[in-house]
C-alpha cells in the first residue's frame, strides 16, 4: 500500500489538533446521526445494531469473524480493533476519516481500516483518544489491488470526481477482462491481507497505442454511510518493511 505524499506533518501540535477536532466531530456526528436515523436504510441499521452489540463492546475483535483472513498464511498475523467514525469527508479531493480510537487503544499510523466487507483507508496520524485515516477517496493515495479471478495486480487510485467509483491502472492489455470481475486487495501489501473486497469492474478502456487498460471500478463501500469500522494491525509489517528497505553495500572497491 503506497502513498505519494503524507498530507500531514508529524508533531505534537498535530496530535493536539487531532484530539480537539476529534472530540468536536464526535459530538456533532452523534447528533446528526440520531437526527437523521430515519434516513438510514434498514439493512444498515440492522448491521449497525448487530455490530454495536456483538462487536463494539471491546476494543479488540476476534479475527476469525473475517472470512478473508482464513486464507491468510497466518490467521494470527493480524490484530483487529473496532472503532466509531466521528467525522468523514467524501467530496473533497483529499478525504479523511476521524475515528474514536487512538494511542491508548493501541492504534498506530500505518494500520489499515476496513468495514466488514471493504477496504476504507489507512491510519495516518493519532492522538491519545483519536486517529485520522487517509480515505481510499483521496487523490494522493495509491492502493495495491488485483483482479481476483486471475490475480493480476494493478494500482487503484481516485480521480476526485465520483465517491462511488475508483480507477484501476496498469492492467496489461493481454489480460482477459470481463465487466463485473471482482477487484480485491493484492498479495503485495504489508498493511492488508489479500482478497479483501474493493469493488467490481464497471467499464474498461484501452486507448490506441497504450499497453495497459484503464478500468472504472464500482466500489463496494458507500463512504457517505460509514459509521463503524475495523482497524487492522499486521504484526509482522515492521519486519517486512525493514527488510525491504534499500541497504548500503558493505563492500566498496
Within the chain, all domains assigned CATH 2.40.10.350 are found at: 141-219
CATH topology of domain 141-219: Thrombin, subunit H (2.40.10)
Domain formed by 2-138+225-235, architecture: Beta Barrel (2.40)
Of 34, 29, 19, nearest to 101 (Cα)? 19
What's the pLDDT score for residue 30? 52
Note the pLDDT of residue 141: 92
All CATH 2.40.10.340 domain ranges of the chain, comma separated, are: 2-138+225-235
The torsion angle over the Cα atoms of residues 33, 38, 40 and 44, rounded to 10 degrees, is 100
pLDDT score for 55: 46
Is the whole-model pTM more than 0.75?
no
- What distance in Å separates the CA atoms of residue 137 and residue 166, rounded to the nearest whole number? 8
Mean pLDDT by 10 residues, the chain (253 residues): 45 50 53 50 48 48 58 70 94 97 95 92 97 98 96 97 97 96 93 92 94 97 94 85 69 44
pLDDT value at residue 225 = 93
Q: How many CA atoms lie within 13 A of 75 on its CB side?
A: 10
CA distance 99 to 88: 9
Which value, to the nearest 10 degrees, does the dihedral of the CA atoms of residues 223, 153, 65, 110 take?
Answer: -70
What's the pLDDT at 126? Answer: 98
Q: What is the pLDDT of residue 69?
A: 64
Amino acid at each position: 500500500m503506497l502513498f505519494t505524499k503524507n498530507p500531514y506533518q508529524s508533531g505534537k501540535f498535530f496530535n493536539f489538533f487531532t484530539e480537539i477536532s476529534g472530540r468536536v466531530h464526535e459530538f456533532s456526528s452523534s447528533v446528526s446521526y440520531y437526527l437523521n436515523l430515519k434516513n438510514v436504510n434498514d439493512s444498515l441499521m440492522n448491521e449497525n445494531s448487530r455490530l454495536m452489540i456483538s462487536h463494539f463492546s471491546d476494543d479488540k475483535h476476534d479475527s476469525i469473524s473475517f472470512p478473508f483472513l482464513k486464507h491468510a498464511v497466518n490467521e494470527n498475523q493480524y490484530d483487529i480493533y473496532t472503532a466509531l467514525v466521528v467525522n468523514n469527508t467524501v467530496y473533497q479531493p483529499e478525504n479523511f476519516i476521524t475515528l474514536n480510537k487512538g494511542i491508548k487503544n493501541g492504534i498506530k499510523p500505518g494500520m489499515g481500516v476496513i468495514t466488514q466487507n471493504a477496504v476504507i483507508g489507512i491510519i495516518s496520524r493519532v492522538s491519545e483518544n483519536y486517529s485520522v485515516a487517509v480515505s481510499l477517496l483521496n487523490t494522493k493515495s495509491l492502493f495495491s489491488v488485483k483482479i481476483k479471478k486471475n490475480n493480476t495486480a494493478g494500482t487503484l487510485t481516485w480521480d476526485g470526481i465520483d465517491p462511488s467509483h475508483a480507477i484501476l491502472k496498469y492492467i496489461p492489455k493481454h489480460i482477459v477482462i470481463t465487466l463485473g470481475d471482482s477487484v480485491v486487495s493484492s498479495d503485495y501489501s504489508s498493511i492488508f491481507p489479500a482478497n479483501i473486497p474493493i469493488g467490481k469492474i464497471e467499464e474498461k478502456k484501452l486507448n490506441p497505442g497504450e499497453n495497459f487498460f484503464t478500468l472504472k471500478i464500482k466500489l463496494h463501500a458507500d463512504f457517505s454511510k460509514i459509521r463503524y469500522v475495523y482497524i487492522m494491525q499486521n504484526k509482522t509489517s515492521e519486519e517486512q518493511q525493514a527488510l525491504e528497505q534499500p541497504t548500503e553495500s558493505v563492500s566498496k572497491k
